[in-house]
Structure 1
Amino acid sequence: MREFVFALEYEPETNPVADVLAEHPGASIRSLSCHVTADSLWRVDHAEGPSEALAELEEAYETADYYADCLVKDDCGADCEVQVLDRSSDALVVYTYWDRTDVCTSVPHVALEQLGEGLLFETYREGRRYRWRIVLGSEAPVHEFFDALGREVDACTGMEVLRLTELDPDRNDVDSGTGPALPAEQREALRAAVEHGYYETPREVELGDLADRLAIPRSTLSYRLRRAEATLARTYVEADESLEAIVASELAHAK
């Protein structure tokens, strides 16, 4: 098995969800599931961020001329269903489903046509950048897929290949149960913070300077680090509690 990771970059006013994310650097969307057939597409997305960003994202999802992942910029005539599954002050879970028309296409549909069935999709959105990760067979024609996708994506959307590698069970991209799964953007921010001394006492670099080094807004870097730190902290506490439970169980049996 291999993993193919690439990113789409939307120009302003070409994708309503990207426009909202660009206005709110602290907001992001990751897929909880994504499924495709020749005739339809359905998925569940988990959005995080400030409440005003989530309200605008919900409105963008429900806009009549927007269909999740459809690459056709004009009204393609598809029937779309949008359902909010969960909503809180800092999180939003949205289900979307649409029936494909003769003119509809999407990343999963092109992948299905070029790479075949049995694919796993994972996505992460932040700002105008939309990162896709596809797990596929080692012999799948990846280059043919990317060429076909390029023919479907118009000039308003940039494309960038990030990596094509054999699937490594030691990586953190998929939660194997042995460690926390962090999005690539959060891992990169955390690694840079450690390398440049952000966590040293006293600090060797301030947050603004580190953001400048990474060429991203200060608020975006702050959000990525806070989310990564929260994940690592929860993982540590859960592991510690599990260890305490094991010790307590062993002591009880010893008695």
Structure 2
Amino acid sequence: MERVAFRARYPDDLLHPFHRRLAATDDVSRADLLVWGPLSTVSTLTWFDGPTEAVAAVFEAVDSATGTELVPGDGGTYAFVHQTDYEFPDVLLDLVAESPVVYVPPITFFDDGHVAFEAVGQSENLATFHAELAGLADVTVERVGEFDRWGSPATITERQTAALDAAVAVGYYDVPRSGGVGDVAERLDCATSTAGELLRKAESSVIREFTESR
């Protein structure tokens, strides 16, 4: 079984309403969809890299939301949402429902219109899924590897690599430290919370790889 990391940019007419709103606000730049319910009962848990007021404004674009609970945490806001409909276009929902692959959380939505996610399955099924998705969006394969139940601790995304490079450049890892997360965010041109999250995930991957390879 293989694990493939995809990055896709959908045309505007295939964007989810909250993803479209994400691109229109300066206060939230990223959303990690952590848990989603089955297609018949739509319940989701998502983390946003912005304050609760900004996230509440994002969900004003989701007409199907019947209940939203926003909780600050981890430098951003968690949103537990009940919806009557996913509000994704049918062509995307059909592809997700019918493809014989599974998706590993999180699914990350960026304010530049991109979506990053990982899928697991047999290589031929992943290839078919990739081909069908490429008919709907501009798709890039970022990583391909063997799936194991402990995940892929050694994998670091391009954005996480850029965050580590920026951190080294500003002196974040100097002893004593001469630069902070704000300096990293300035170099990456992103929110401080986003820079912090990128660094935490990259550091977690590097440390797990080191400890497990000894």
TM-score, normalised via structure 1 length = 0.56
- Structure 1 residue aligned with 2:18: 17
Does the aligned pair in 2 maintain the 1:4–1:164 contact within 8 Å?
Answer: yes
- 1:122 Cα offset (Å): 2.9
CA distance, structure 2, for counterparts of residue 132 and residue 7 of structure 1: 7
Match of 2:212 in 1: none
Check the 8 A contact 2:49/2:194 in 1, yes or no: no
CA distance in 2, matches of 1:105, 1:42: 20
Structure 1: runs of 5 or more not aligned: 64-79, 175-182, 234-255
Q: Which amino acid aligns with 1:21?
A: L
* AA aligned opposite 1:227: E
Q: Give ranges in structure 2 of 5+ residues lacking alignment.
A: 204-214
Q: Is 2:148 the partner of 1:165? A: no
Counterpart mapping for 1:207-226 below 5 A:
207=183, 211=187, 216-217=188-189, 219-220=190-191, 222-226=192-196
Q: In the alignment, which residue of structure 2 is the partner of 1:122?
A: 106
Shift of 1:4: 1.6
Contact kept, 8 Å, 1:34 with 1:122, in 2: the verdict is no
The amino acid that maps onto 2:153 is N
1:79-112: CA deviations, max 9, x gaps?
x4542133449514133445699x82325x4144
Determine the structure 2 residue equivalent to 1:46: 47
C-alpha distance 231-188 of structure 1, shift in aligned 2 (>3 A)? closer
Q: Please identify the structure whose Cα radius of gyration is greater.
A: 1
Is this contact kept in 1: 2:31–2:110, CA < 8 A? yes
What is the deviation of 1:32? 2.1
C-alpha RMSD over aligned residues: 4.2
In the alignment, the residues of structure 1 paired with residue 184 and residue 177 of structure 2 have an alpha-carbon distance, to the nearest angstrom, of: 16
Asked if 2 retains the 8 angstrom alpha-carbon contact of 1:31 and 1:124, the reply is: yes
Give the drift of 1:144: 1.0
Q: Once the two structures are aligned, what percentage of the paired residues are identical?
A: 14
Residues 1:149 and 1:188: Cα distance change in structure 2 (over 3 Å): same
**Number of aligned residues:** 193
Please tell me the residue identity of whatever aligns with 1:198: G
Alignment of 1:1-255 (within 5 A): 1-10=1-10, 15-22=16-23, 23-24=25-26, 26-36=28-38, 43-61=44-62, 63=63, 80=64, 82-88=66-72, 90-98=76-84, 104-106=90-92, 109-115=94-100, 119-127=103-111, 128-134=113-119, 136-151=120-135, 153=136, 157-167=137-147, 169=150, 171-172=152-153, 184=157, 187-199=160-172, 200=174, 203=178, 207=183, 211=187, 216-217=188-189, 219-220=190-191, 222-228=192-198
Q: Deviations over 1:1-41 (max 9, x none)?
A: 3222112224568553233323226542112213445x676
How far is 1:46 from its partner?
Answer: 2.5
SS in structure 1 opposite 2:90? Answer: coil
| Separation of aligned partners in 2, 1:100 and 1:93 | 15
Instruction: Tell me, yes or no, if the aligned pair for 1:31 and 1:44 is still in contact at 8 Å.
Output: yes
Aligned-residue offset at 1:120: 4.0
Instruction: Quote the residue 2:209 is aligned against.
Output: none
